[in-house]
Amino acid sequence: MANSANDTKSSISGGDTTSQKRGGKLRYFMYSIFALLAVFFACDCDLSLYFAPYNNAKEKHFENQVIWVTGASSGIGAQLAKDFAISGAHVYLTARRLEQLEIAARECSVLGAKSVTVIKHNVLDHDESLKIANDIISEHGYIDVLVLNPGRTQRALAMQATIESTQTIMDLNFMSYVALVKAVVPSMLVRGRGSLVVTSSIAGKMGTPVGSSYSASKWALHGYFDALRAEYAHQGLHVLLVCPGPVVSEITEHAVKGEGKDDKEYKTENEVKMSTQRCSDLTLKALRYKFDEVWVSTQPFLAITYISQYAPGISKFLFKHVFGPARVNAFLHDGNVFDIKEALSFIWKK
């Protein structure tokens, strides 16, 4: 009898221990999930990129490399040029606005570029793109990195956008990139190495209301450059697609507007826009570690991008019933389409 009682107590005690262990594991799992979510919502890029060790251009990883930055007169392009300069690269800056290019070039020289060359360039002139590529290759023998950065955004509903405006966006945001690839990549393949940095957008990962043509041009970039990477990676070609969210720049000021909207001003102020310096830092880090694609954005845009990528059904529901109507209403009422709270307020008021 005594042994039976002891066995019963032992069994109960063993059961309690097992339950405690299971409870401890569950708590550990829940704490881990909460910690991961906390880290994610504090991030402004992919987690793998966020934790990659890198000290900006000060590492001198790009020292003596030949870098061609297109669309370098302002914004992301100008900042990338400066950071390549800090790293000690030979920097070529091209864009249409010569005065702004020269300002950026002077800064690059002060920051430590091995050499700085400014060329006025309209990327829609494909023959000119080929000539510039040939001139750079003639001087240095190669191009290490080509940054494809020119572009215009859009502020128009799909039915307001003209065929001509859509064609303008596609020519600049997509076809000019293809022409530059044709001009530069053959020499990279002969050499057996070279990198393309392609400025896309999170609008290339989801259909963006009030920017249908812009979004389409960015989707086109992903289709083309993903295919290009698959075809030529084994020959040493590295293709990096960078998908920024809202970044402090002049791009909204030059947005292609809808029919009858040319004189309309749109609010663009937003305290959650990423700085061009931060965007450049993350881009150079991704280039340093040869990432294929990175998303760089403040919250909540980064979270929305993840939902669009990994839960497309939920994303389409949210855009159809929440984000889409909110952004359209903000646009129609001269609100800030980048400010989700302000955009949603137009729905709550209804």
Q: Give the SS3 label for residue 184.
A: helix
Q: Which residue has the tokens 């594991």?
A: 25
Judged by DSSP in three states, 333 sits in coil
User: How far is Cα 323 from Cα 304, in angstroms, rounded to an integer?
Assistant: 10
* DSSP conformation class of 159: T
Q: What percent of the chain has pLDDT over 90?
A: 65
The pair of three-digit structure tokens given for residue 222, joined into one six-digit string = 């992903």
Residue for token pair 């949210």: 318
Which of 7-16, 34-43, 139-148 bottoms out in mean pLDDT, i.e. has the lowest? 7-16
Tokens of 330: 């903000």
d(CA 244, CA 44): 10
Quickly list DSSP for 97-151: -HHHHHHHHHHHHHHT-SEEEEEE--TT-HHHHHHHHHHHHHHHS--SEEEE---
pLDDT attached to residue 252: 67
Contacts of 159 (CB under 8 A, 6+ apart): none
Q: Measure the CA–CA gap between 152 and 230, rounded to whole angstroms.
A: 27
Asked if the model's pLDDT at residue 202 lies above 50, the reply is: yes
Lowest pLDDT segment from 37-51, 124-138, 236-250: 37-51
Which single residue is written with the structure tokens 């109507």? 325
**pLDDT over 70 (residue 31):** no
Radius of gyration of the chain (CA): 25
pLDDT of residue 273: 86
Is residue 36 scored above 50 in pLDDT?
yes
- The pTM assigned to this predicted structure is 0.85
Contact partners, residue 7, CB within 8 Å, separation at least 6: none
Q: What is the pLDDT of residues 281-310, one digit of tens each?
A: 999 999 999 999 999 999 889 999 999 999
Chain segment 75-105, per-residue pLDDT in tens? 999 999 999 999 999 999 999 999 999 999 9
Q: Which residues are catalytic?
A: 214
Crossing angle between the packed helical segments 176-191 and 126-140, to the nearest 10 degrees: 30
Percent of the chain with pLDDT over 70: 77
pLDDT in tens, 222-279: 999 999 999 999 999 999 999 999 998 766 666 777 764 544 555 555 457 899 999 9
The lowest-confidence range among 3-7, 136-140, 166-170, 295-299 is 3-7
CA-CA distance, 318 to 304, in Å (whole number)? Answer: 10
